[in-house]
Structure formats: structure tokens, C-alpha cells
Structure 1
């Protein structure tokens, strides 16, 4: 089996690496504990990091931890790193722990997180001018349904997620009515149906998400979001409204226990240098959530096929 042979290769590599650079590894007999949060993408991110650490000669344990309440455990050294923190969804506890010096930020994951107004790629043929947002003014009738006529229809986030799509339609004065989806699954149904039937669809969506790759989803180019856009009507293309811009950008970053560098020097360097591209993460999410693969097998297969993307980070830390 491919993943089994990869595991054997990692074991051999770990022994060689450990023999060559034991002084830089630190406490190799003590497992490094990585936080596993509530969503599939984070599981992928964390297991790739874990396999990189194993390749360097470390022992790794995966510990289930809530995204919002994990930082006390990290500050206490019960968990040693968390690898996918979203700036749009992080508790105040994180900043407190960083300020007191018990949690250390480990740099950007460089995962290109984005929310926005989106459409399946084929829609560009039905609405010439996309991805420019201005194209939607003339194309709106093509997106209309019985419940939205004469306006176009935007499938927005479920109602309990807020109204970000509706806010953009109002802010940019676009002739679209936002209709909330019933759930995340309902958003996927809309994408699948539009892709299969080659019909118009405008939808509020985000990445990383496996559907972005599975259905070739593109984002509308909206005016770049700045703080003034959300507070000052005079800012932006519509002088009479706020929200006439793209979503506020999210940053995705990593953090660890303050004792990480002293206890495991090479591991600290590996985790600090570790990055992951959304083009790599999204298909793995689909292989797990849609195709039913396990995180361990999907990650092992990706690492075996993409050694050029992660091995140099490990090697650099062991020199």
C-alpha cells in the first residue's frame, strides 16, 4: 500500500536524520503534542506538520482541542503547537497568552484564506466581463428566479451566519436579492447543480473548501476591503453606503508553547518555516470529506507525491 511504504521511508529517513543532527533535535524521546481542532482542513494541516516532524526524528501525538479554548493548554505546555489559527475566529485568550509570554506565534501558514462572492467557472461565459464586479449590473437578469424577479438571485450564507452577501449587494448597489441557504450542505447542492446543468449561479462562499476545487469556483473581483469601507459611506464606489468592497481578509497563522524552541530546537524551526498552499489543502479535504479517505492515508499519499514541497524545510532545520 502506498501509505505504508511511505511510512517505512519516513522511518528510515528519521533514523538517518536523527543520527546526523541529534544535538539539534532536543528531547527526541518526549512526544511533541499537536492540537487537532474541529475542521477537516485543520486536520490536514496538522498531520502534514506531524509527518514532517516524524521525518526529522521526533515522536508526535495528536490531541483533540477546541479552537477557542486551546490556548491555556498550550500556555501550560500540555499542547505544544497549533497549526491553523484564523484571525477572523480567534479568542481574546490568544492575545493574552502571547502578551504574557506563555504562547509564541510561529508565523504565517500562508494558506490563502478568502471569503467572497463567487460563481462556477462556466458562468463567465454567461456573464461576459466577469470576474469584474461591474459586469453583474448588466447580467443580473440572467441570475433571476421567480422569487427574485426582476432582480438576480444571490445564494447567501445560512441566516445564522450573518448576511455578508446581502451586505455587498446593497453596498455596491447591485440588482440582486440575497436568499439565505439553509445550510452549508445546501450551498454545496447549489454549486453541484449549477455546474452539472451549466446554469447561472452567484453565491457567497469561502476558501479553503474542497468545493472550490471540485466545482472550479471563482471569486468576483470586488474593491479591496479596507477598514474605512465598513464604517465610512464616502469611501468606495458607492458614496451612499458602507460594505461597498470585498470581505475583510483573514490571516491564518501558527502558534506554540513558549518552551518549544528550547525543548525541540529543530522542531521549532520546522514548524516556524512550515507553509501550506490552498491548492494542496483543498483537494485533500475533498478526498476526506467527499471520497471517504482517512486523514492519515490522504496526507501520506500527498507527502509521498510532493516531497519537494516539504522535505527542504526538514532538511534545512537539520543542518
Structure 2
């Protein structure tokens, strides 16, 4: 955590007029909290709410750094960011691959939101092409789901290449005729889903829950062998679908030690999938700024967020 002055109460020596001895006074100061900003709506909702409270309720300066994937973790290790507002299991992967990650990072709190990654299609596609939602049947529908970019295979659209993803391993190990095609962002995936419904053009895409898009349209997941944490073929060889994930906030070790009230807020922060989806919708679809979307939600839920600060 970067401090502009000293954290907490700072002793200031002043000379009082007419008196030869110094008098000690106290000045309350706050530092700067740097939050990584990754490019999906749920993350932005978390970051907006935390940032608003840090700034407006606790008096910290808040800076957002737009980062992605390994860049975020490199910045955390280097000490240039303090907080990852939503982690989709990357901390566990990093800690397994690089045990030293536990020396500079730690999980602050489960956010109360559970994530589920999968491959999805609009329900009309399943209704029109029976069995297409089963992974073992995708080979029968190459003609339906291929495009000029998919090299004669089923096209699977993904967003940002930095997203947590095992698509290439799943495709290889389940011997699926699928080509991954990146569109670069969450917004492009949403656009593709809407085009599929509006233009009746079949589409298959990587997506996740929770997300407000599921309240707008009926989406159907591809059925993979069920995730089993005890099955090595599943966990190591990726011969199954994704398992559910508890989504956490992650902080630097330094921030956890020296972050004071700011860290206490991050450590106590927990809300619901519906809460997150509402703020995310207001940012991405209702045209609100992240700050305004956060304030709207916070104004309606003061009993909850007050506990994050005082608990």
C-alpha cells in the first residue's frame, strides 16, 4: 500500500506563540489504494463499489490500473497494486505453479459470489438442432456452427485471451472438432449472443455466471462430463466441464499488513450474485458511470455495507 504521508495518526511538532516548548498535535491522514481493473462487468462492479467506499467513506485516494491476466499478478508481486477485486481461481493456480506467490499475495475474502464457466448457446439453437448441446454431438453439427474463421470446425467464441481458460486442453483431450476464435472482449460476446437471437444465426461461446445477460435471454450450456474434484482425468487432463468457483478478493501481503481500515473493508466485503449483476448491468447497459452505479446500489444497501466498515 502506497502512502502519501504516514498511515494513521501523524504527530506534528509545532511551536506555540509565546511558548518556548513544542506542542504535539494530531493530523489524520490516509494513503492511496491501487485496485487492478480487469475487463469483465462483474469485476468492474466489485471494483466500483469498493473504490467508492474507500474514497467517500474512508477518505483514501483510489487509483485503478487497467491490467489483465499475468500483468495483474506481476503488478501485485512488484507492489504496484494492492487489490484484485475478483479472482476466478488464479491465486490457487499461481500458488501451485509458483509457491513464492504466497509470499506476496493472499486471499482476503470470499466475495459471496460463485462463478461458473462454460460454453453456451441461445436456447433457440438447441431447440432447432436436437442434441447440439451435448459435447459428444458437436461433431455432427460442424456445418451449423462453423464460420470462415473456424477452419472447417465448430467455432467457439471467447472474449479476452487473458481470461482464465482451459478451452484448448478440453478440446484436445475430448477430441472435439472445435476452433477457438477470440473476439477480444465481453462486449463482443454479448453482441454475438444478441445477433444470434435477432438474426437466427447459431453461435457457441465461452461465458460465465453470474451475469445479467442470463436475465435478458435464455442460454443453454454445453453438457460436458460432470466436474469431479477427485477425478484426475477431470482435474488434470481436463476431460470434463469446469467446476464451480468461489470468487475471492486477493490482496498483497503488504496491504494486508499495513492497509488498516482499507484492508478491513476489503476483508469484510461480501455480497450476492444479484447485487453484483445489478451494478454490472447499470455500468454496461444502463449507461451509468461506475461511480454512479456504485452509489445507486450503496444508497439502497447501507445496512450491509456499514458492516464491511465496522465489523
Give the structure-1-normalised TM-score.
Answer: 0.62
Match of 1:252 in 2: 247
Q: Displacement, 1:301?
A: 1.4
* Counterpart for residue 35 of structure 1: 35
Partner of 2:49 in structure 1? 48
Work out the CA distance in 2 between the residues paired with 1:39 and 1:302.
21
2:227 to 200, 224, 230: 224
Offset, 1:80: 4.5
2:19 — aligned with what?
none
CA distance in 2, matches of 1:146, 1:287: 34
Aligned residue in 2 for 1:63: 63
Residues 268 and 156 of structure 1: CA distance in aligned 2, closer, same or farther (over 3 Å): closer
Tell me the equivalent position of 1:305. 300
Q: CA deviation at 1:146?
A: 7.3
> Residues 305 and 94 from structure 1, CA distance in 2 versus in 1: closer, same or farther, beyond 3 angstroms?
farther
The residue aligned with 1:116 is: 118
Secondary structure at the aligned position of 1:188 is classed as helix
Which structure is higher in strand share? Answer: 2
> Could you say if the C-alpha distance between residues 81 and 204 of structure 1 is closer, same or farther in structure 2, counting changes exceeding 3 Å?
closer
Partners in 1 of 2:90 and 2:101 — Cα distance?
A: 18
Check the 8 A contact 2:87/2:248 in 1, yes or no.
yes
- Give the 5 Å matches for 1:63-82: 63-65=63-65, 66=67, 67-72=72-77, 74=79, 80-82=82-84
Say if 2:110 and 2:246, in contact at 8 Å, map to a contact too. yes
- Alpha-carbon distance in 2 for matches of 1:97, 1:310: 30
Q: 1:180 to 1:159 in 2, by over 3 A?
A: farther
Secondary structure (helix, strand or coil) at the match of 1:296 reads helix
Match in the other structure for 2:12:
none
Q: Residues 130 and 153 from structure 1, CA distance in 2 versus in 1: closer, same or farther, beyond 3 angstroms? A: closer
In the superposition, the TM-score normalised over structure 2's length comes to 0.63
Equivalent residue number for residue 203 of structure 1? 205
Q: Using the TM superposition, give the Cα deviation of residue 170 of structure 1 relative to its aligned residue in structure 2, in angstroms.
A: 6.0
SS in 1 for 2:63: strand
Cα-Cα RMSD: 4.5
Tell me how far apart the structure 1 counterparts of residues 227 and 174 of structure 2 sit (CA, whole Å): 12
CA contact 1:106–1:254 (8 Å) conserved in 2: yes
Aligned to 1:137: 137
* Aligned partners of 2:32 and 2:63 also within 8 Å: no
The structure whose residues are more often helix, as a share, is 1
Q: Which runs of 5 or more structure 1 residues have no equivalent in the other structure? A: 1-26, 233-241
Q: Is the 8 A contact 2:54 2:61 kept in 1?
A: no
Aligned residues: 269
Q: By how many angstroms is 1:275 displaced?
A: 2.0
SS of corresponding position for 1:109: strand
CA shift, 1:296, in A, is 0.7
